[in-house]
Amino acid sequence: MLFPSLIQERLAQALLRSGLDIPASFEPSVTAAQDTRFGDYQSNAAMVLAKQLRCNPRETASAIASAFEGGDLCDAPEIAGPGFLNFRLRPAAFSAALAAILTDSRQGVPQASPPRRIVVDFSAPNVAKPMHVGHIRSTIIGDCLARTARFLGHEVTTDNHIGDWGTQFGMILHGWKTLLDAEALEADPVAELLRIYKEINTLCKEDETVRDQCRAELVALQAGDPENLKIWKTCVDLSIAGLGKLYDRLDVSFDHWLGESHYNDRLAPLVEDLIARSVARESEGAICIFFTEHPALAEKPCLIRKADGGFLYATTDLATIDFRIEQWQAEEIWYVVGAPQQLHFQQIFESVRLAAAAGRGPATPPALRHIAHGSILGADRKLMKTRSGDNVQLADVLDEAITRARAVVEEKNPDLPAAEKDEIASIIGIGAVKFAELSQHRMTDYIFSWEKMLALQGDTAPYLQYSSVRIQSIFRKLEGPAPDWTALDPTSFTFQDESETRLLRLLARFAEVVPSVLDDHRPNLLAGYLLELAGAFHAFFAACPVLKAEVSARTSRLALCAATNKVLQTGLGLLGIRVPKRM
Ligand code: ARG
C-alpha cells in the first residue's frame, strides 16, 4: 500500500476540480512529512503551481484543499507555512496497511512496474589473491541490492566477474614452478597460493630476472601453453572452492561465475570491430578509444589493446557487456565496485555509448551504473591493515566476529545448548559485520569497530535481531493459539496511545522505504528505517502492556507486535541478515 501515490492520485483529481488553470504536464509530488506533528505526508504542489500561474500560494493551496476528497484514506489537507499541504492518514488507512503487512506475502510492498532485467556485478575478487575487506563492501552491498531488486519483482541475474586472467598469473605460475610446497597446498590451498604470490611479488621488486621470468610465463599462458594452462586452471579451481566456502558463511550466492577468462575469445574480434566502426583507432602502436567530445574524458582515452597485442581490463569489460546483452537481454547492469575505479567505468560507459552511436549492439543499450563505495578504515583512520601491515582478510574478520558474538551469547544465555549457541553466534557475528556496512552511506569511509558493531544497544544488527527475538518470545508466551490475521476485520483494530500510532505510522512506511533503496542504490535507507522502527517498538512496548492488556486492546497490540516482527525479518532478510529464535 503506497500512500504517497494514493494521495497523489486524489490530489490530481482535486486539481482538476479546483477550477485552477492546471498545465497539462503538471504532476503533484507527495512525500513523507518531515515533522509528523503536522501530518503524515506533505505536498508542495500548491507552491509550485502558484509560481507557474503567478498567483498567491496560500490561496492556491486553499482552492486545492477545498476540492480534495480523501475518502477513507486521509482528511482534507491542512495548509501550513507558505502553502504546504499536510495530509493526515485516517485510522482506516493505517489499519489497512497493518492488515497488508500481516497477511500479504510482500507485506504491502508494491511490485516494480515494469520489472527490469538487471545484471548485478559484485564481489568479483581476484583469483589467488585473498578476498580482503575491500571486497567485503562490494559483496555485502551487491548482495543486498540484488535481494531488494528481486523482492520488488525485477528479473535479477547475479554474476561474479572474478579476476581469473590478470597479470598476477605470471607471478603465480613462476611461483608454482619454483616455490610450491605440495603439502601446504593440500592443507590450505588458498593460503599456499597467497604465499607464493607474495613471495614472488617481493622477489620481483628486487630482481629484474625474476620479473622477466614472470613475464615469460604470462606470455606462454596467453599463447596457450598446455602446461601453464593446466596450472592456471588448477589455481582457479582451488580459489573458487575457497571463495565458495566464504560466500556460504556469508549466505551470498551468484547465478553465474563468469570470470574475465570467459571472454578471452571475444577480445580480438571486439577490438577489430571497434576499429572498423572508427570507434577505436591506433595511437603509438596501441589501440585506444578517444573521447574528444567528452568534457571530463577528453584527455583520458581508453586503452583496449597494448602495442604488444595484449588486451586489458577495459577490453574484457566491453566484451562482457556484449555477452550480458546477448545472453541475458540485460536492460540494466549495476557494477558494485569501489570508488577508485570511477574513471574506468566512465570510460567503459562512454565507449558503449560511442559504439552504439556507430551501430554496434542493440538500438537501446542497457543502462549502466557504477554503484561506487568508499573504504573501510582502521581505528587510525587509515586503510584497515593487520598488525603486520597486510590487508585484513575477510575470513579472519568473520572468525573474530563470531568469536566475539559467542561471548555475548554465553553471557546472556549461558543455559542454551552449545550447538544452538554456535548457530546464534554465527547469525549475530555475520549479521553485525553486514549491518555495520549497510547502515553507512555507501560512499562514506567508515571506521571498523568491533565494540560498536556488536553492541546490543545502538545502531547495530544485534539490536534489531534482539527486537525480533523479543517479539517472538511474546508469541511463545501467548496462551492459546496466535490470532489468525487473515480472518480478522481490520476495522476492528483500535489504537489510542501515542506510542501505538507512532509505531503504526512507521510500519505503514515500509512499502515506501523498500523501493526507495533502489533510487540511488542505498541500503542504508532501509537500515536506518529498521532502527527507527525498532526504537518505536521498544517505546511502545515500554508504554503499553500487550499480554496483560484488556481484551479490547490486546488483539490490536498483538497485531502491532506481529507486524513489527514481520517487517524486521523481511527488512533484515533484504539486507542479507538472518534472525535467530533466541539469543
Ligand atoms: N576484479 C576487480 C577488482 O578486484 C573487480 C571487478 C569488477 N567488475 C567489473 N566488471 N569490472 O578490482
Q: Which residues pair with 35 in a beta bridge?
A: none
Q: How many CB atoms lie within 10 A of CB 553?
A: 18
Q: What is the pLDDT of residue 404?
A: 92
Mean pLDDT of 149-161: 98
Domain coordinates in residue numbering, the chain: 3-89, 168-250, 259-371, 379-583
User: Nearest C-alpha to atom 3 of ligand 1 is from which residue?
Assistant: 125
Pocket of ligand 1 (CB under 6 A): 121, 124-126, 161, 163, 317, 335, 337
Note the pLDDT tens digit of each residue in 218-266. 999 988 999 999 999 999 999 999 999 999 999 999 999 999 999 999 9
Distance in Å, CA 312 to ligand 1 centroid:
12
Q: What is the pLDDT of residue 130?
A: 65
Q: What is the pLDDT of residue 381?
A: 79
Q: Are strands 31-32 and 41-43 parallel, antiparallel or unpaired?
A: antiparallel
Residues 271/305, Cβ–Cβ less than 8 Å: yes
Distance in Å, CA 321 to ligand 1 centroid:
13
Note the pLDDT tens digit of each residue in 373-418. 998 888 787 777 766 667 777 888 899 999 999 998 998 899 999 9
Q: Which of 531, 526, 494 is nearest to 512 (CA)?
A: 526
Distance spanning both ends of the chain, measured CA to CA: 33
481 has a pLDDT exceeding 90: no
Q: What is the pLDDT of residue 384?
A: 74
Distance in Å, CA 189 to ligand 1 centroid:
23
φ, ψ of residue 446 in degrees (nearest 5): -105, 155
Domains 3-89 and 259-371 share a fold: no
Alpha helices, DSSP H only, in 278-341?
313-328
- DSSP structure class, residue 482: P
User: Nearest C-alpha to atom 11 of ligand 1 is from which residue?
Assistant: 317
Q: How confident is the model at residue 180 (pLDDT cuts 50, 70, 90)?
A: very high
Distance in Å, CA 227 to ligand 1 centroid:
27
Which burial class, exposed, middle or buried, applies to 409 when counting CB atoms under 10 A from its CB (0-12, 13-18, 19+)? buried
Q: What is the pLDDT of residue 265?
A: 95
For cell 574513471, what's the residue?
Answer: 343
- Whole-angstrom distance, CA of residue 256 vs CA of residue 240: 12
Which burial class, exposed, middle or buried, applies to 276 when counting CB atoms under 10 A from its CB (0-12, 13-18, 19+)? exposed
Q: Which of 26, 33, 22, 29 is nearest to 7 (CA)?
A: 29
pLDDT > 70: percent of the chain = 99
Which atom of ligand 1 lies at the shortest distance from residue 163's CA? 1
Residues 328/157, Cβ–Cβ less than 8 Å: yes
**Three-state DSSP class for residue 556:** helix
Q: How confident is the model at residue 24 (pLDDT cuts 50, 70, 90)?
A: confident
Q: Cell for 126?
A: 581476484
Q: How confident is the model at residue 552 (pLDDT cuts 50, 70, 90)?
A: confident
User: Nearest C-alpha to atom 4 of ligand 1 is from which residue?
Assistant: 125
Q: What is the pLDDT of residue 386?
A: 67
Note the pLDDT tens digit of each residue in 413-444. 999 999 999 999 999 999 999 999 999 999 99
For a mutational test of ligand 1's pocket, the pick from 311, 335, 337, i.e. the residue with the most ligand atoms closer than 8 A to its C-beta, is: 337
Q: Which of 256, 121, 169, 194 is nearest to 396 (CA)?
A: 194
CATH 3.30.1360.70 fits 3-89, yes or no: yes
Q: Cell for 342?
A: 570511477
Note the pLDDT tens digit of each residue in 135-151. 889 999 999 999 999 99
The better pLDDT of the pair 204, 385 is held by 204
Query: Is the pTM here over 0.85, yes or no?
Result: yes
Q: What is the pLDDT of residue 100?
A: 95
- Whole-angstrom distance, CA of residue 142 vs CA of residue 538: 31
186 has a pLDDT exceeding 80: yes
Note the pLDDT tens digit of each residue in 166-177. 888 999 999 999
Average pLDDT, rounded, for the chain: 93
Q: Which of 573, 512, 510, 575 is nearest to 537 (CA)?
A: 510
- Whole-angstrom distance, CA of residue 285 vs CA of residue 142: 38
**Three-state DSSP class for residue 219:** helix
Dihedral in degrees, nearest 10, Cα atoms 149, 154, 158, 161: -90
Residues 125/133, Cβ–Cβ less than 8 Å: no
Q: Which of 25, 26, 33, 66 is nearest to 47 (CA)?
A: 26
Residues 386/392, Cβ–Cβ less than 8 Å: yes
317 has a pLDDT exceeding 80: yes
Distance in Å, CA 162 to ligand 1 centroid:
7
Note the pLDDT tens digit of each residue in 25-77. 899 999 999 888 889 999 999 999 999 999 999 999 999 999 999 999 999 99
Cis ω before 114 (30° cut-off from 0): yes
3-state SS track over 66-94: HHCCCCCCECCCEEECCCEEEECECHHHH
Q: How confident is the model at residue 103 (pLDDT cuts 50, 70, 90)?
A: very high
Which atom of ligand 1 lies at the shortest distance from residue 166's CA? 1
329 has a pLDDT exceeding 90: yes
Distance in Å, CA 260 to ligand 1 centroid:
9
For cell 571486497, what's the residue?
Answer: 135
Which atom of ligand 1 lies at the shortest distance from residue 338's CA? 12
Which atom of ligand 1 lies at the shortest distance from residue 317's CA? 10
Return the CATH fold of 379-583: Isoleucyl-tRNA Synthetase; Domain 1 (1.10.730)
132 has a pLDDT exceeding 80: no
Q: What is the pLDDT of residue 390?
A: 73
Distance in Å, CA 388 to ligand 1 centroid:
26
Output the CA–CA distances (angstroms, integers) from residue 465 to 168, 455, 480, in the order listed: 42, 11, 25
**Three-state DSSP class for residue 459:** coil
Chain centroid, CA 396 distance in Å: 23
How are the residues of the chain apportioned to helix, strand and coil, as percentages rounded to the nearest 5? Answer: 55, 10, 35
Residues 101/510, Cβ–Cβ less than 8 Å: yes
Return the CATH fold of 259-371: Rossmann fold (3.40.50)
φ, ψ of residue 544 in degrees (nearest 5): -120, 125
- DSSP structure class, residue 25: T
Distance in Å, CA 240 to ligand 1 centroid:
15
